[in-house]
Structure 1
């Protein structure tokens, strides 16, 4: 684990991720090509708990043939994976997730890598349920029994996904995630955990992307979204990518992919947003008691 000191009472993930929605592009255009790409962040993250994120990675994308996304996950570091380089240079998609993982306790295994998939839905997370091993049993018992059968790994992130599905993610994502967060906080406090939840989460059904930034302590992990394309064209008229991108093209990232002025905006604390073909909106977020 590259010399890190691990507290096994805090078996959580501290990661970097990006979500892209818009004109179909090659995955490499966002994963590899930017100055501070996700691959660069796998070695030199600037805003994460860990500088290096080398405990696995995953990409998930939607194509034209199926409603369900394709998922590729590996346990090695993204920066040296030839299969990821090959996929990213040949796969084109209008909506994809990419995630690099830094484990601080939970096993480095394929089933613990993000994004997670259920039907047409994907989910990825950066953050932690504090003292998760103490809370795990109560949280897992709240998952719908039919959904429980689909849990493959041992991370808090995957359990959060299946709790959200239990609370109606497929019908009403903001309410389902709020109820999931409310349950985590309720169970955490019952076990004497002062600040149970830390999360930036992205989830999608292949058409819209919902992103959430929240923590019990109100000190959440970093999260940014890109400025509207029509505004960026006026700021940076020489960028060829912007001339080809649709007006609805948006990125949501753990940290900016570069330092071009006017491109990146921080997601406010306790906020969620949705990006869809017609544009995007943003609202305040608060947990709900389920």
Structure 2
């Protein structure tokens, strides 16, 4: 459906991986070998947390309905700023129209959210899910995607205090309502969420056949495997990427995230746990 990338680590110019990697997210927008669609040209989004003591807590967003490969502003922006945590998403629209308010990532206060996948038969269950959103949050739903509704449903269920628990409750609600409407496998998706310091990502589908998701190995291990690759000097010791598809062809650099799993990145490093496992 789409492709996305999330980075957490030492401040980095996003262009280093968004544009310059062999299989960058922009390259994947043109040719996505592991995606449900080869081309993801229905708009894109870039969200980042500004770096520095006086920086605001809220992330900044740049959305465009142009294909990522055709947007000069994305090149200018990702080459000019530095950020310790950023999201990039290229979209293949599955029904909702191509408009800026439907481009990921989505933002609420200091939180960012993006999703690759879909709610099956979304028009059937859209109303039932939307009315469950807390009335105080509903005005912040600006687009028409299933992803944005799930984000605000998770906020309703306590995302700010328990991100994985709230997201899990939102997805279970999608499954329950979908099943009531006769949909056998309502949910499919990989999700990234952040509050500006921690990154939570998940891979789960009702059918157990989720879109692809990978995380990078730790930088010291990669340098040990590939001591002659000068490009690795651009990354700090804590740099980590979670991405829909590997950014290069070097064996061992990217590791597939298992089905029904969550990957958490924070100041303590990397950890993985089960997510909505049967």
TM-score (norm 2): 0.97
Matched, 1:112 2:87: no
Report the alpha carbon displacement of residue 238 of structure 1 after superposing the two structures with TM: 2.2
Aligned to 2:90: 100
Matched, 1:220 2:210: yes
| 1:245-256 map, 5 Å | 245-256=235-246
Structure 2 residue 268 is matched with structure 1 residue 278: yes
Distance 1:258 1:113 in 2: 26
Aligned to 1:11: none
Q: Distance in 2 between matches of 1:241 and 1:121?
A: 31
Given that residues 58 and 73 in structure 1 are in contact (C-alpha distance below 8 angstroms), is that contact kept between their aligned partners in structure 2? yes
Indicate the SS of the match to 2:140.
coil
Secondary structure of residue in 2 paired with 1:188: helix
Deviates more, 1:197-206 or 1:278-287: 278-287
Aligned partner of 2:24 in structure 1 is 37
Answer yes or no: is 1:269 the counterpart of 2:259: yes
* Structure 2 equivalent of residue 26 of structure 1: 13
Q: Is the 8 A contact 2:260 2:277 kept in 1?
A: no
Alignment of 1:143-162 (within 5 A): 143-162=133-152
Q: Distance in 1 between matches of 2:180 and 2:9?
A: 43
Q: Distance in 1 between matches of 2:130 and 2:277?
A: 18
The residue that corresponds to 2:36 in the other structure is 49
- Per-residue deviation at 1:69? 0.5
What is the root-mean-square deviation in Å for CA atoms of aligned residues? 1.2
Q: Deviations over 1:122-145 (max 9, x none)?
A: 000000000000000000011111
Matches within 5 A, 1:44-83: 44-63=31-50, 64=52, 65-83=55-73
SS in 2 for 1:52: coil
Instruction: Name the SS of the counterpart of 1:61 in structure 2.
Output: strand
- Contact 1:271 1:284 (C-alpha < 8 Å) held by counterparts: yes
Over residues 217-236 of structure 1, what are the superposed CA-to-partner deviations in whole Å (9 max), with x where a residue is unaligned? 00000000000111111111
2:164 is matched with which residue? 174
Cα separation, 2, equivalents of 1:287 and 1:113: 29
Counterparts of 2:273 and 2:176 in 1: how far apart (Å)?
Answer: 23
2:164 and 2:98 map into 1 onto residues whose CA distance is 30
Looking at structure 2, the residues matched to 239 and 42 of structure 1 have their Cα atoms a distance apart, in angstroms, of: 25
Cα deviation for residue 246 of structure 1 reads 2.9
Map of 2:153 onto structure 1: 163
Mean CA deviation greater in 153-162 or 232-241: 232-241
Native 8 Å contact 2:132 2:153 kept in 1: yes
Alpha-carbon deviations, 1:249-280, whole Å to 9, x = none? 11000001110121010000000010112201
Please state whether the residue corresponding to 1:152 is helix, strand or coil.
coil
Q: Decide whether the 8 Å contact of 1:248 with 1:276 is kept in 2.
A: no
SS at match of 1:62: strand
Contact 2:190-2:213 within 8 A present in 1 as well: yes
Distance 1:254 1:30 in 2: 13
**Counterpart in 2 of 1:7?**
none
TM-score w.r.t. the length of structure 1 is 0.93
CA drift of 1:104 comes to 2.2
SS in 1 for 2:149: helix
